[in-house]
Chain A
Amino acid sequence: MHGQTATLTLPDNLRWVQTLKRWLFVIFLGVASVMAVVAGTDVEPALESSPANKASAVTEQHSALTRLEDLDLLSQGLVEKAGSGATPAHNFRVETRMYRELLRQIMLADRQHPTAEQLPQDLLLEMVRMSALLHAAADCKTGYMIVCPADLMLQLKAQQSKVSRALLMARGKVE
């Protein structure tokens, strides 16, 4: 009987403590959010106008461009492989998918920046077309090997040089 009362009172105490904890947590969250909003509105314009922030935006764009240049190197290699006639179709397909996924990651990351600091749309569109052409090349397989028809090969090379040129222009603008 004695034990029973003890078991009945203890949960009540615990509930009270838990409720208090919850309220404290909610109040803390509320205060923190208000502080963050106030701090954000106060600080953002100051940061945007500060030379340090501009420099960071340029650095980020530099790094995005560097990643695109790496992708450009990948596509150059793929174009060469498509023309060689000795590339296993499976490997080529995997690398083509990798190109597309890396490009998607770069574009999604780029979207989080303000419009003025984003990568040039023309450049991204050219790279999307490059990705589509590489996929078309991945479908041109004879048995296990990639063998591209001459017209597609010509377009691949032309598109590759277009992408490289667009990258050079984008790099020139940033610098």
Chain B
Amino acid sequence: MAAAWQQFAATVWQIASESAFWVIISLIVGGLVHEFLPSSRFSGLLNRRGQGAMAGAIAFGACLPICSCGVIPLAISLYKSGIRLGPVMAFAAATPIINPAAVILSLALLGPQITIAYIVLGLILPYLLGLVTERWGDRMSTVSVGESSSTVTTGCCSTATSCCDSDTAPGVINVVPVDPRSVGARITAGLRWGLSDLGPTIAFYMLVGMLIAGVIAAFLPPSWVDTYLRESSGMALVAAALLGASIYVCAVAHIPLVATLVAAGAAPGIAIVFLVTGTATNLPELIALYNTIGKRTVILYAVSLIIGAMIAGVLVNLWLLPGFSPVFDPVRSLDLLETGERLQPTVGGTLSLLATVVLAGLALVGVWRWVGNLIARRRGTSCCSG
């Protein structure tokens, strides 16, 4: 029991400390995006009908070295800024799956064939997820921000004075006139929105997700990766997809782990399924999106991701099995590993600790507001209860 507690605490702490810095950065950028994007030309591009917006969102996401937790605030702020659901979800999926460091690491350790499969899947799957969620996801009562330069769209919970941060119907958009404030005042307002409005809500849901991920890690035997990823049966494919989707996986950290298993004879398709589902989603991300973007969207997103990754896994196995073994030049691999390490920004211990403390503080504020809202709803005094 003590070991389980230890594992639980270690997992929660690990997810928090690894993602905290990027979550804070993402909250700051998200706040600025929310303040400046609706009135910029860029929002018109992202809201343009057709496939260009989706492709642009995927390309932009693929260049960012952020894991799935770090991308949540940015994705939500894009959504709250009135960007179409399809590009937002495609961005949320593409950012953690594909990044330059992960591609180089994959080339160094998994060989060119799996890397090609990984890149193709990392680009196609977010695109399909974007299409599916836009077609069948939660409806947002949007007013196209590109239609009029004199209006901007903001969510119900976007202002600092809002009394309903977490329990408002997501995606409800009000049209407010453009505030002719100075740039400094707008930056302050953006930061306030990101850190004071969005931050506590996201941190609260992330905390819930981290606690559940910690419980799963405490009861999941550590050898499960070794057990499931070594098989090539359909059941192993399902297990790899489900477990990958629920635990916290960072592509850069897990590629070496998967590479050793593939070298030991694991099916390459299962490795791809685990990498893609693991990096594209995790419980903190799913819970935060579930409560902010919409239930139907997140269920569609998770189910489509798992099914899509499994189909891709089967195709990769058909392509590479039997007799696949990644062959590469050891010296070149070491050079690529070094390049990958240079491309992956590392956060110093002090900065990481500081960010974790800030995130924990935001989560506490989120808990406080959630309790307050709960009490207010019971009393029937919430402005959003009706």
Q: Which residues of A contact B (CB under 8 A)?
A: 89-90, 100, 103-104, 107-108, 111, 121, 124-129, 131-133, 135-136, 139-144, 147, 149-155, 158-159, 162
Q: Residue-by-residue, is B312-355 near A (CB-CB < 8 Å gives 1, otherwise 0)? A: 00000000000000001011011001100100101001001100
Q: Could you tell me the distance in whole angstroms from the C-beta of A57 to the nearest C-beta in chain B?
A: 20
Interface class of chain B by DSSP: helix
Taken together as a complex, chains A and B put the C-alpha atoms of A150 and B108 apart, in Å, by: 24
Q: Could you tell me the distance in whole angstroms from the C-beta of A127 to the nearest C-beta in chain B?
A: 8
- In the complex, are the beta carbons of A143 and B349 less than 8 A apart? yes
- In the complex, are the beta carbons of A132 and B337 less than 8 A apart? yes
Interface class of chain A by DSSP: helix
- In the complex, are the beta carbons of B330 and A149 less than 8 A apart? no
Q: Could you tell me the distance in whole angstroms from the C-beta of B186 to the nearest C-beta in chain A?
A: 35
- In the complex, are the beta carbons of A147 and B334 less than 8 A apart? no
Residues in A whose Cβ lies below 8 Å from that of B330? 107, 121, 124-125, 127-128
Residues in A whose Cβ lies below 8 Å from that of B7? 150
Q: Could you tell me the distance in whole angstroms from the C-beta of B336 to the nearest C-beta in chain A?
A: 10
Residues in B whose Cβ lies below 8 Å from that of A127? 330
- In the complex, are the beta carbons of A128 and B333 less than 8 A apart? yes
Q: Could you tell me the distance in whole angstroms from the C-beta of B12 to the nearest C-beta in chain A?
A: 10
Most buried by B among A125, A149, A152: A149
Taken together as a complex, chains A and B put the C-alpha atoms of A158 and B349 apart, in Å, by: 28
Taken together as a complex, chains A and B put the C-alpha atoms of A89 and B18 apart, in Å, by: 13
Residues in A whose Cβ lies below 8 Å from that of B370? none
Query: Total interface residues on B, using CB and 8 Å?
Result: 42
- In the complex, are the beta carbons of A132 and B10 less than 8 A apart? no
Taken together as a complex, chains A and B put the C-alpha atoms of A126 and B255 apart, in Å, by: 15
Knowing A129-B256, A135-B256, A150-B222, say if A142 contacts B334 (CB, 8 Å).
Answer: no
Counting CB contacts under 8 A, is B161 at the interface? no
Residues in B whose Cβ lies below 8 Å from that of A126? 263
Counting CB contacts under 8 A, is B78 at the interface? no
Most buried by A among B108, B224, B330: B330
- In the complex, are the beta carbons of B14 and A131 less than 8 A apart? no
Residues in B whose Cβ lies below 8 Å from that of A104? 331, 334
- In the complex, are the beta carbons of A152 and B334 less than 8 A apart? no
Closest to B224 in A: A151
- In the complex, are the beta carbons of A132 and B259 less than 8 A apart? yes
Closest to B11 in A: A149
- Contact partner of B14 (CB less than 8 A), chosen from A149, A154, A155, A162, is A149
